[in-house]
Structure 1
Amino acid sequence: MAEAARKIDLIDARPSFTQADADALNARFEGVETTEMLRTLFAERILGKVAVVSSFGTESAVLLHLVAEADRSIPVIFVDTLKMFPETLDYRETLIGQFGIENSWVVTPDLDVLAAKDEKGLRWSYDPDGCCEIRKVEPLARAKKGLDSWISGRKAFQSQTRQNLPRFEVEDGRLKLNPLGDWTKTDLEAYFEKHQLPRHPLEEQGYLSIGCEPCTSKVLPGEDPRAGRWRGWDKVECGIHTPSTPLADPDDPANQPVF
């Protein structure tokens, strides 16, 4: 019996998805309209236990509306770092109510960890990576336990670190879906207009990418949309996203079959 239990543990510990699965899904849904793709994925239960992760920032309404139109029961996870703008917290309530989202989760940092590693709440000012780790990365990792896949709102145009973003990728055996990966800013604006989606109240003030209040500033004309995040630091990501595995180039000799 003990031997059988050990075998079960080994099976359960295996990754739910592999890169080959992501490649197959990228091929299957290439060119498929985003709404149709989401409805198919949810209807066929391809993603297993899935949730959306949203920052409720300036562009978040598009992804949340798309998911809600496909299936309002899909959970939406929000990491409240306890450093968020009050306007972001209010915006979250607005979108959840307007879109009829049925399952909304809020995860916060571990208070014991904050007491030990950020007692004065100023770690952001001298160690932004460490601050993100305890306030965002760890709480989200905790929230994702038990999920087979998760949905991200990343777009390729947002920064150089997000170029060649595939729709499907794998992180730690968990499938990650980027439905808006190939959307442009024009696409997003058109969707906002078509569906009359509410805007984040700070956007009109020049905040184009919104995270925690201490580490978010206004974006100047001509700057990268994420230039207002961690201004003055050599930092462009909070740490919840690992480098993507881009779509394979069929014309690359390295991807040609060997006979």
Structure 2
Amino acid sequence: MSFQSRFPFADTERLIRASNQAWELDRAFGHLQGRDLIEVAFDRYGPKLTLVSSFGAEAAVLLHLASEVSRHIAVTFIDTGRLFGETLRYRDALADRLGLSDVRTIKPEPRAVKSADPDLLLFSRDANLCCYVRKVEPLKRALQPFDAWLSGRKRFQGGERHHLPAIEAADGRVKFNPLAKWTPDDIEAHFVKYGLPRHPLVADGFLSIGCMPCTDRVAPGEDARAGRWRGQDKTECGIHTL
């Protein structure tokens, strides 16, 4: 049984509705990016829109763009219980810097963690299940009040993201990818132009930052996401394959 088939999906009616909305929106606004696309999402969905952020290496760019549209956009952050302390402190500092008024920290169900990962070594036995318990299931709960969400994924990150559309459907919701077409130079230029603070681990060679046990430094010349689940045939945690 595959990882995805273990778990239920949204009801068929909601899936169809979201797919139709995403198709129509992408046809009308798929040429937009950055702040312009965030404005479309906010105008269309308002309080039913959330920005899902890991507060990782490049997260400040999307969060800054969103804050320019509205500082009241709900921001959803999954605290898996295995994150770097630096990430938690960066979340607090960046939210304060940008004036974000609605950052929601979601955690996995304690009983599910205790049952699936009693020795905290599940990541080494079944990384997909670990990600599901600690990230995917909490996000599914967190997204329940929303009809649409913003993601910071980019095409240059490779793998399944290479052909990332600006707007898509995901688990019965419309998903906007305002940075899909941005390049590494675009990201860097935005950091510099607006003086955005960097995640403290970036200077230490961590260019894509997730849970502590499954995040490694990236060697010069390696892909930025090479340090995620190093040595495993795994490139996504699962929250972007709902």
TM-score calculated relative to the size of structure 1: 0.85
Read off the aligned partner of 1:178 and give its amino acid letter. N
Larger Cα-atom Rg: 1
Report the alpha carbon displacement of residue 36 of structure 1 after superposing the two structures with TM. 2.5
Q: Please name the residue that 1:7 is paired with.
A: none
Rounded to whole Å, the distance in 1 between the matches of 2:103 and 2:72 is: 9
Q: Please name the residue that 1:76 is paired with.
A: 75
Rounded to whole Å, the distance in 1 between the matches of 2:146 and 2:31 is: 27
Q: CA RMSD in A?
A: 1.9
SS in 1 for 2:32: coil
Q: Identity across aligned pairs (percent)?
A: 48
Q: Please name the residue that 1:45 is paired with.
A: 44
Q: Please name the residue that 1:255 is paired with.
A: none
Distance 1:146 1:47, change over 3 A: same
- Give the 5 Å matches for 1:21-170: 21-42=21-42, 44-46=43-45, 49-170=48-169
SS in 2 for 1:231: coil
Residue by residue over 1:70-117, the C-alpha shift from the partner in whole angstroms, topping out at 9 and shown as x without a partner, is 011111011000000000001001110000001010111111111111
Read off the aligned partner of 2:78 and give its amino acid letter. V
SS in 1 for 2:44: coil
Rounded to whole Å, the distance in 1 between the matches of 2:58 and 2:203 is: 13
Read off the aligned partner of 1:229 and give its amino acid letter. R
Distance 1:214 1:14, change over 3 A: closer
Q: Please name the residue that 2:235 is paired with.
A: 236
Read off the aligned partner of 1:80 and give its amino acid letter. D
- Give the 5 Å matches for 1:173-188: 173-188=172-187
Rounded to whole Å, the distance in 2 between the matches of 1:223 and 1:153 is: 21
Report the alpha carbon displacement of residue 48 of structure 1 after superposing the two structures with TM. 6.2
Report the alpha carbon displacement of residue 27 of structure 1 after superposing the two structures with TM. 2.5
Distance 1:30 1:125, change over 3 A: closer
Which one is further off, 96-105 or 122-131?
A: 122-131
Query: Can you give the 5+ residue segments of structure 1 that lack an aligned partner in the other structure?
Result: 1-10, 244-259
Query: Can you give the 5+ residue segments of structure 2 that lack an aligned partner in the other structure?
Result: 1-10
Rounded to whole Å, the distance in 1 between the matches of 2:31 and 2:111 is: 47
Distance 1:16 1:23, change over 3 A: closer
Q: Tell whether the 8 Å contact from 1:16 to 1:148 is kept in structure 2 after alignment.
A: no
Q: Tell whether the 8 Å contact from 1:47 to 1:149 is kept in structure 2 after alignment.
A: no
Which one is further off, 166-175 or 192-201?
A: 166-175
Distance 1:130 1:41, change over 3 A: closer
TM-score calculated relative to the size of structure 2: 0.90
Higher RCO (Cα < 8 Å, 6 or more apart): 2
Rounded to whole Å, the distance in 2 between the matches of 1:241 and 1:36 is: 22
Q: Tell whether the 8 Å contact from 1:159 to 1:225 is kept in structure 2 after alignment.
A: no
Q: Please name the residue that 1:3 is paired with.
A: none
Report the alpha carbon displacement of residue 32 of structure 1 after superposing the two structures with TM. 3.1
